[in-house]
Each structure stands twice: as C-alpha cells, then as structure tokens.
Chain A
Amino acid sequence: MIPTDSPTSQARPGTPVGVAPAGNPEMPAPAPEHHDRSAWGLWEVFVRSSRGLSHVHAGSLHAPDAAMALRNARDLYTRRNEGVSIWVVPADAIAASDPDSKGSFFESPQGKDYRHATYYTKSEGVKHL
C-alpha cells in the first residue's frame, strides 16, 4: 500500500471551502485564495514598523482591490507585530527612474564636498557647531 499522511477524515462536513480552521474569521485559509487570477492586480506594500518611523517597502502581493490588499498585506507582512501601519499602492501607479541613466540622472557628487559638514575643517574645536 502506498503510505499516506492524510488524516482519515480529510473532509470536514459543514465547513465551507476557504474558511480558516481557527476561530478567527478574519484569518484566510493558507494558500490558494491569495493567488493571482488575471483580474487581481499587483500591489506594493509599505509597512511602518513603529511610530516615528517611515513606511518602508516590505514586498508585494496580488489582490482584487485595496481593501483586500490591505488585509492580505496584514496577514503576509505583519504576522509577528512587524508594523503599526500599512500602505498598499498599485504597482503600476509607481513611476521609477531608469536604472541605465545612472550617470546623467544622478548628478556626480564629485567636486561638491562642500555639501557635507565634514568639508569645513576650520570649525574643528569650536563647540556647538
């Protein structure tokens, strides 16, 4: 006989498909529901880890709308108290700089040391400056 590890009563009568086994109705069942169908767009997720800090890019996910994107982001990126606030942004709404234009887009800092405090040696030894 082929060994198997399925519980003998795999079917749970009366349990609607897609409902989590735990008591928390907010918690989605693990895998399939998150997956993209063509109508589900890509969202970029930004998480504020604690008050006083900026939102930082955490990753991306698929969701049919902003409300579901937020819920999915909570379940996917803050399972261990990683955040106090989440932003979700449609990925195609983000404009990004062209990586190939590094030379021209980001102007060379060469010869512009005077933009940094460390350039000014004469201030050494002077207090509170």
Chain B
Amino acid sequence: MAAQNLQSVPAELTPEEDAAGQAHFDRIIAEDSRIEPRDWMPAAYRKTLLRQISQHAHSEIIGMQPEANWITRAPSLKRKAILMAKVQDEAGHGLYLYSAAETLGQTRDKMMDDLIAGKARYSSIFNYPALSWADMGAIGWLVDGAAICNQVPLCRASYGPYGRAMVRICKEESFHQRQGFEILLELSNGTPEQKQMAQDAVNRWYAPALMMFGPPDDDSPNSKQSMAWNIKRFSNDELRSRFVGMMVEQVRVLGLTLPDDQVRFNEDTKKWEHGPLDWHEFQEVLAGRGPCNAQRLERRRAAHDDGAWVREAAAAYAAKQSAKQQKEYAA
C-alpha cells in the first residue's frame, strides 16, 4: 500500500479501475454517505463541485465590499465593530471554501486569477449597490437570510470538505442575519425618515434576494443532476418559497412591508408563492452588466495588487529564516 498525499489529484486509471470506482461512488451516494478528496469520483461531479464551491468562495470575497464600504460611515462605534467582525467573517468563509475547492485539485492561484480576470462568476446579489445605512440592515436580513436558507441544506452535501466548510459558515452566519434585522428594527422604530429609509432598502433588496436561489426549476438545467448526487437537497423554487414564508412573518415584526402584493400561501400546494421576478435582469447581472460589476472587480483587483508586496515580503522573510536555520544546523 502506498502512502497517500492529502490532496486529490486525478490519476490515469484503467477502465477496470474506473468501473470499480464508479461502483464505489454510486454505493456511497446511495447510502447518503460522504465522498472524500481521495475517493474516485466522476469527472462531471468534480467539475460541478469545483464550479459551485469556487463561485461560492468568490461570492464571499466579493461580498465583503458592499459592507466594507460602510464601515467608515456606520453610525456608531458599536456598529463599526459589528460590521468589521462581519466583513472578517466573510473573508474567513471565502477561505474555508477555497480550501474545500483546492481538495478537488484546483490551485488557489488559479481560482484567484480567474476571479480577477473576470472569468469566474459570483453571486449576482453583490453587483447591486448599498446606497444607505439601512441597506446594511436589508443585506443582513434578506441577503444573509437567503444565504442561510440556501446553505443549511448544503451542510449535508455529499462532498465531505464542502459540507464541513458549510457547517462552520452556517454557525457564523446567523449573527449576520440577526444584526441586519436589528438595524432595520431600530430604524423602523425611529423617525419617519428612518422608517422610510428602512422600507426603501427592503424594497430594493427583496427581489434580488429572491433571485439568489437561482433560476426557476424548469430553467435550471444542472439542478437535477446536483440533487441526484446529493449536493443539492432542495430545488431552487422550494427554497425560495420557504424563504418567502419566513420573511412574510418577520416583516410584520419589523413594522415594514414586502414590495410584493402577490405573496400568498397556496393551500393546495402548501407552498408560499410570490410575484414574478425579472429573470432578464438576473441574466444581465450574471453576464457582467449589473450596476456594480465593474466596480466590484476593479476593487478586488486593486486589493490584490496592493497586497502583492505583503505576500512577497512574507515569502522573502520565510525564505531568509529558513536559510538561516539551515546554516545554523550545518554549523
């Protein structure tokens, strides 16, 4: 038996080995157990996961921007501290996910380069601007709320490293949603202008948040396969409907309204329904033509370039220390 490296690098296999691998893979999926990095997996499974996990990681990294932009303008020291903790969490979530993606055989440099070059996708939601302080509330409540709805079932994703990263992320994410809810509640109970600001933010973020669950089921070609592989546990529309049901309750406590007069509970299907969404806009934003796409990528690129000297200095220092140690060892 050969000792193995921890990372998964697909090797050239004979047809017999592939057949045995597929049988083992199918058995694990049928048992609803977990695939681990060194296991044989179908090339399409690897590719799907790599795309999903890296897009998810990019979303966390780009997702730092709308909120980081408000740290200097947050209304109190407490709110600044909360916002910084939240932005730091998003960075952490991105790093957990990049680590998970790396176990599939992709280097972090490649993922980073793809993001900066504009070749990689990330959640369309972060291409909308955060125009007022109330947007920090609406983002926490609606955007992080939708993310949690989406992510809790991913804790049971069939790929072990992804599921483990999601468990960690979900634990931290609930503070994000609660702080957003609290911001909106305080504004709603404030002056009429503050309440209006909160309502305006909810109005702008509602539809984009609903679209975070992805296209409708009949227009989501990859969903079926992802569900068969136990990566996805619920369909886009199912999760969206659940989310609407939760929001419709919570918005009452906030003393605000959802900008959708077609929200209703369908007694026949036992599902929450909502008004039509602008899927053309969704596709446009995904294709890079949203309000903030250029700004977000430019900022990411600048941050990467500005940080180059830090990375180089750290590597040079490490090399110097290592050389020094070797010399002492030799002497």
Contacts and interface: CB of A to CB of B under 8 A. Distances in A.
Contacts of B7: 42, 91
A4 B306 contact: no
A98 B5 CA distance: 9
Contact of A96 (B4, B70, B107): B4
A30 interface: yes
B114 interface: no
B38 A96 contact: yes
Interface centre among B40, B172, B299, B311 (most CB of A within 10 A): B311
A61 B109 contact: no
B131 A3 contact: yes
B4 A32 contact: no
Contacts of B85: 79
Contacts, number: 149
B182 interface: no
Contacts of A27: 88
A97 interface: yes
A21 B71 contact: yes
Interface stretch (A62-70, A109-117, A118-126): A62-70
Contacts of B90: 30
Contacts of B180: none
B318 interface: yes
Interface in B5-39: 5-7, 36, 38-39
A30 B1 contact: no
Given A31-B303, A32-B303, A62-B108, A37 B3 contact: no
Interface string A78-101: 011000000000011011111111
B72 interface: yes
Contact of B69 (A6, A18, A61): A6
Contacts of A101: 1
A60 interface: yes
Given A96-B3, A97-B1, A30 B295 contact: no
B317 A65 contact: yes
B84 A60 contact: no
Contacts of B73: 7
A91 B6 contact: yes
Interface of A: 2-7, 9, 17-18, 21-22, 27, 29-40, 42, 44, 59-65, 68, 75-76, 79-80, 91-92, 94-101, 104-105
Given A32-B306, A97-B4, 11 more contacts: A5-B69, A17-B307, A21-B71, A31-B61, A32-B310, A35-B112, A35-B304, A40-B315, A75-B92, A79-B88, A80-B172
13 contacts: A4-B129, A5-B129, A5-B292, A7-B69, A9-B72, A32-B304, A35-B108, A35-B311, A36-B112, A80-B172, A96-B4, A97-B1, A98-B3
